[in-house]
Structure 1
Amino acid sequence: MADTSSPLFGTVLVANRGEIACRVLRTLRTLGIRSVAVYSDADRNAKHVTDADTAVRIGPAPAAQSYLDISAVIGAAVASGADAIHPGYGFLSENAAFARACADAGIVFIGPGVEALEVMGDKIRSKNHVASSGVPVIPGDSRPGLSNAELADAAATVGYPLLIKPSAGGGGKGMHAVSGPADLESALVTARRVAAAAFGDDTLFLERLVAHPRHIEVQLLADTHGSVIHLGERECSLQRRHQKVIEEAPSPLLDSGTRSRIGEAACRVAESVGYVGAGTVEFLVSADRPDEFFFMEMNTRLQVEHPVTEEVTGLDLVAEQIRIAAGEPLREAQRDVAMSGHAIEARVYAEDPERGFLPATGTVLELHEATGDGIRVDSSLRRGLVVGSDYDPMLAKVIAHGSDRNEALARLDRALADTTVLGVRTNIEYLRLLLADGDVRAGDLDTSLIDRRLPELTFRRPAEDLFAAAALLLHAEREAASTRSPWSRPSGWRLGDPRPSSYVFAVGDDTTTVSVLGGEPMASVGIGDGDETPATLRLIDGMNYALTWGAGTRMLRLAHAGTSVWVADNGFSVELPILTREQRLAARLALLSRKDTPSSPEVRSPMPGTVISVEAATGESVDAGDTLVVVEAMKMEHKLVASVSGQVTVHVTPGDLVKLDQLVATLIPPAQPENSTVEGDTE
């Protein structure tokens, strides 16, 4: 129901993009507040732009020239008449200079004060500050300004395994686990580079790595009248590379006593810096000792996983942020806060889990987002959206609420199975595999669980019926586009025996040929050299098709665009590239040329991105496995390594933009002596 009271602000600008911008805009609409979106050139047609009442361009695609450009964002706010700015999360949300700039322009920053941003934005300073307030912290060395040599000396005292962490920023960027002294030097170099690129500050510190750690965070609300309350905790232990994947509230680990103590500790942290707004205090808890917790950091902004808290408390945290920023007192006291049921959230990313979670790009051809009892979707997706490589690859969050954890898990799994994004690879199948894991279902979690499970995960391969559906779709399109002449129709009719139409698809290095003879009401379909099977494909609506394959009928979702057919089935989706006759011939010739070559001497970028480092010089001799080039895409670093030993020629320089499959380096293996013999040769 819409809020019919006087608006808290006349106009609020949302200084962000993607799903969080859409989510904030939704609350502004509910509160009756005029909204302003900002966008870069890459986001000109993004969903948040059309969701807002008005939108202002702030610069080109690179975030440093748009969403991170303080003067551009403030200029947009002034030009649009905004009274306040909501920063979302990421970008400028924890930037003290941005908060000052808002104040200087007479604009309310919907977030904490500058002191809290400065203290908690520096992980070293915040850890030392919190320790002085009597909140337990993880053992480590958090002296500011330590050099790599000094950190190496400190590591011996901290002990292994340990964690390298950047003092500025968060989100797991620049964090590296180190198991022993031999790995420390290279990890420090990488951590500094990532921290400098992501946060403009390469200061590092060390922490002891807690055994079987669980990541528990507490949601806070604090007003300008001195009230601070907590809204319970969230379990965020399912992580990969320190990035959260699935989150839930409440934690299945904590008992009521520990829940009360950890909430009180979080409030004490907020009070120590005069915190105002909606924030989160993150703790590390050992699965072996669940009654013991250690402060990690405070996030002085809204968290990605805030919807699970909203679902179990019934509060709109964005609305609470806006009310607090407008000077209103909290409407809830601690005694009024109660959690009802259980909520779980899964993050949908544009990435390919089978290829090391490389970021994926593309255009959303077809889209279906789940609905139903207890289901919520926070999304930036829409049909026709171009997903590029300029920003974080998160596309949406699927949230399920149930009366208990089992019901929430079941609802989330069903919602993911019903979610379809055709045109861009996503991690939906991977999320469903995680939810099916026995330890996950039992609530027996820790932050390394995903890393242990990844080698065991088996991703689905397209079966014959999916290839048949793709071929039948192409066949029907040819039929619809043909003239009435029997010579132009793909029915296979000819003088003499009928001839089937052939469609060839590629999946990885494999190809599958599908022959189709006939059409409505039933066709004969053959896969490779297999027997023909009666089949038909019937359009239901949109992208929904009914495939009759042999004796059974099932529902699939399909889309054809350009040179590929996309097929989706219960959360599984696959792109089936269509090979032309010329491509098939080129592939066969390439296979012949590679027959006796163990590895390719070419190094190509597996994703579009930006070259941030070149680790080898042209003419240098390198060994197989050596890092040649580092490419950053969607806030992640990817090391491109030599596939063979030899002399390298590098074709890119730092700062270059590279495309998918672009050649970045070439290797010339050492020549074999003319009369050399190999093991097993006989004279």
Structure 2
Amino acid sequence: MLFDRVLIANRGEIAVRIARTLRGLGIASVAVHTPSDAGARHVREADLALEVPSYLDLEAIIGAALASGAQAVHPGYGFLAENAAFARRCAEAGLVFAGPPAAAIDAMGDKIRAKATVSAAGVPVVPGATEPGLEEWRDFPALIKPSAGGGGKGMVLVRSAAALPDALESARRTALAAFGDGTLLIERYVENPRHIEIQILADTHGNVVHLGERECSLQRRHQKIIEEAPSPFVSSEMRARMGAAAVEAARSVGYVGAGTVEFIVDGTTGAYHFMEMNTRLQVEHPVTELVTGLDLVELQLRVAAGERLPFAQEDVRLDGHAVEARVYAEDPARGFLPTGGRVLALREPGGAGPAASGPAPGGAGPAAGGPPPGGQPVVRVDSGLAEGGVVGSEFDPMLSKVVAWAPDRATALRTLDRALAGTAVLGVVTNIPFLRALAAHPAVAAGELDTGLVERVLPDLVPDEAPPGEVLAAAALVFHARPQGDDPWEVTDGWRIGERAWTTWRLESRDGVHAVQVRGLPEESAEVLIDGEAVPARIRPGADLAVTIGGRTTRYLCVRDGDTLWLGRDGASWPLTRHLIGDPGDRAGAAAAADGVVRSPMPGTVLVVKAQQGDRVSEGQPLLIVEAMKMEHTVTAPRDGVVSELSVRAGQPVDMDAVLAVVTSEEA
């Protein structure tokens, strides 16, 4: 018998996604939230919501579950999902944990122990070494990994013995911050690697099956960006062998529930080695759901309730192709630093058929909730976003996932591109243009993937910060439009005896200040000066702004926030601010190195202060480390000189462009 009420021990898009399946099954959902998340979408969509001090406070979450009358807890991913102590406390409190047994989490949560366990079961593993003595490793290139945790956090690629000490220090610090355990291991780095994972399911009756593979090779900083199922590299024979190895790995620890066995695969020979097992639902689970027709959350709940898996291995089939892109609050033009802000306007694509909003609940067999009849492409969006919501620096920067299914891979990629073009998040800089460029890259289209591809072709994927000329013209026309009120002296048509005058609008973008000249009233008849030529222009104001310049009409999603105007089109967005005479010539964060002012490149927390006031420093010398959304960024001295001011301390939160320090030349 399934549950009457389930608490979701998570937030954001995964909490919204779990609640959707619960709703379809007629199970009441209970959300938890921190004070800063009280207005979040996952809170509004749950049947009941309770406040907790932190998503990592397991006692508070257990207390919330008991107070709400929940019979089970679904951990989602991240936070407490792979915390064996949390699974044990659920059992002690009489709550069902919708995940594997604590012993399985322990066995697979420690990468060192996991490798030994699966190796004993006959699964091939990557050669490596463990603590102590990592400093003595000499087989390069090598990959450092935290023994606890996952998601790519704390992983560092090292190519020489000279770089090893600093890499170990950084990885250990990140591991402690993210997982509370600084234990590391090191492995030989496989050149030309593909990252391929196998989804498994196991019940309490001894049944274990796999649901095929996911290709997760498109990564940056060991974080997955675009995933797909099935892999264009894996044959049916290879799928069967890898699937059998994954099933054996799960059996070796008495696994129960949904889990993922991750392999590193040599892209030349096809040889595969076990990397780790994620004892939870994966971020990329929707692509498996779309090609199998299964609802993995529903199956997790049914297994947790003691039911048998309703199908055998021979019943599982893969239909068509699915591709997922992760939308992040990050700025590709600034080295993918985390961003933030308030969501001023939001557009997300929809789709057709039950898979557009997740597989249809109510049937956990292989045909349930699959692609719609006729094989028409489908778009699914798993999102935690809502207009008015604030994207802060305390959580992971992933905002949503855009997923496309089609009968074949080429059509799935085209469908994904159109879906991303129809996505807009105004108020927060995102990676959507980068995702579109990556999905359209020739190597991706050809299926020639490896985990280093993104880094190699990065210059081709990162968009220019400078807004296109027509976007600048559109913004100037909006600012130039007739003001509200009846005062004729405030009309901006530029009327003069003889001919109308030009008005110059100085607009500040992320790459500097731009001047645009306009005359006339844009709602009636106006002109903009482009390359010295007056071009007729007109706008139709509104959230869907129509801008006609030189007879060509372009539509933008448009929202104004004080003196800043956000324009969005085809997945890209541009914030443009009125720049008044006397303001600095550039944005605060783009201050020239010559002024010696050191500013925070992102909103976050000062993690480490490496210099003191009065220290002599050299250009490029590390001064501070700022952390946001589990990402560290080293801030360096902009020039040679003396640290004349140090404005922050370790542990202090800072805003983007906040002054951290000032380096003054010795002559000054």
TM band (smaller chain): over 0.9
- Matched with 2:646 is 650
* 1:352-501 matched pairs, under 5 angstroms: 352-372=331-351, 373-457=377-461, 459-460=463-464, 461-476=466-481, 479-483=482-486, 485-494=487-496, 497-501=499-503
Return the offset for 1:663. Answer: 1.3
Taking the aligned partners of 1:409 and 1:16, their CA distance within structure 2 comes to 30
Q: Which residue of 1 aligns with 2:274?
A: 295
- Distance between the aligned counterparts of 2:379 and 2:510, measured in 1? 35
Equivalent residue for 1:559?
Answer: 559
Is it true that 1:54 corresponds to 2:33 in the alignment?
no
1:22 corresponds in structure 2 to: 16
Structure 2: gaps spanning 5 or more residues: 352-376
Aligned-residue offset at 1:131? 0.8
Equivalence map 1:158-557=2 (5 Å):
159-290=139-270, 292-372=271-351, 373-457=377-461, 459-460=463-464, 461-476=466-481, 479-483=482-486, 485-494=487-496, 497-519=499-521, 522-527=524-529, 530-539=532-541, 543-557=543-557
Measure, in 1, the Cα distance between the counterparts of 2:210 and 2:278.
14
Q: Which amino acid aligns with 2:575?
A: E
* Identical positions, percent: 53
Q: Is 275-284 or 466-475 further displaced after alignment? A: 466-475
Q: 1:37-76 residue pairs with structure 2 within 5 A?
A: 37-59=31-53, 66-76=54-64
Question: Kindly tell me: are residues 456 and 600 of structure 1, through their superposed partners in 2, closer, same or farther at Cα, counting changes over 3 Å?
Answer: farther
User: What's the CA shift for 1:598?
Assistant: 5.6
C-alpha change, 1:521 and 1:68, in structure 2 (3 Å) is closer
Superposed CA offset, 1:291-312 (max 9, x none):
x110000000000000000000
| Corresponding residue number in structure 1 for 2:117 | 129
Kindly indicate whether the alpha-carbon contact (under 8 Å) linking 2:32 and 2:50 is maintained by their aligned counterparts in 1.
Answer: yes
- Distance of 1:412 and 1:523 partners within structure 2: 39
CA offsets, 1:224-271, max 9 Å, x none?
Answer: 010000000000000000000000000000111110000000000000
CA shift, 1:618, in A, is 2.2
Question: Quick check: 1:609–1:658 contact (8 Å CA) kept in 2?
Answer: yes
| Stretches of structure 1 lacking an aligned partner (at least 5 in a row) | 1-6, 60-65, 673-683
Q: Secondary structure of the residue that 2:135 maps to in structure 1?
A: helix
1:82 counterpart SS class: coil
Cα offsets for 1:110-133 (capped at 9, x unmatched): 000011010101011101111111
Q: Say if 1:468 and 1:525, in contact at 8 Å, map to a contact too.
A: no
Quote how far apart the aligned CAs of 1:661 are: 1.1
* Alignment: residue pair count: 640
Of stretches 17-26 and 363-372 in structure 1, the one that deviates more from structure 2 is: 363-372
The answer on whether the counterparts of 1:516 and 1:523 sit within 8 Å (CA) in structure 2 is: no
**Distance (whole Å) between structure 2 residues aligned to residue 511 and residue 589 of structure 1:** 8
SS in 2 for 1:348: strand
**What SS class does the counterpart of residue 574 from structure 1 fall into?**
strand
Q: Deviations over 1:92-142 (max 9, x none)?
A: 000001011111111111000011010101011101111111100001113
Q: Residues of 1 paired with 2:75 and 2:489: CA distance?
A: 62
Shift of 1:650: 2.6
User: How big is the shift at 1:582?
Assistant: 3.5
Q: Is contact 2:604-2:626 (8 Å) kept?
A: yes
Tell whether the 8 Å contact from 1:280 to 1:302 is kept in structure 2 after alignment: yes
Distance 2:586 2:150 in 1: 48
Match for 2:473: what amino acid?
Answer: A
Counterparts of 1:488 and 1:162, CA distance in 2: 66
1:667 is paired with a residue whose SS is strand
> Equivalent residue for 1:680?
none
Q: Which moved more, 1:16-25 or 1:459-468?
A: 459-468
- Alignment map for 1:593-632 (pairs within 5 Å): 599-632=594-627
Residue of structure 1 in register with 2:374 after alignment: none
Q: Match of 1:675? A: none
1:463 & 1:544 partners in 2: Cα distance?
19
In the alignment, the residues of structure 2 paired with residue 71 and residue 279 of structure 1 have an alpha-carbon distance, to the nearest angstrom, of 25
Report if aligned partners of 2:512, 2:585 keep a CA contact under 8 Å in 1: no
Q: Which residue of 2 aligns with 1:681?
A: none
1:670 matched to 2:666? The reply is yes
Greater CA drift, 620-629 or 192-201: 620-629
**AA partner of residue 415 (structure 1):** A
Whole-Å separation in 2 of the counterparts to 1:521 and 1:78:
59
CA contact (8 A) 1:504 1:511 kept: yes
Please report how far the alpha carbon of residue 653 of structure 1 lies from its aligned counterpart in structure 2 after TM superposition.
1.4
Deviations 1:165-213 (A, max 9, x none): 1101011111111111111111011111111111111111110000100
Whole-Å separation in 1 of the counterparts to 2:560 and 2:525: 20
Aligned 8 A contact 2:84 2:102 in 1: yes
SS class of match (2:595): coil
Over the aligned positions, Cα root-mean-square deviation in angstroms equals 1.8
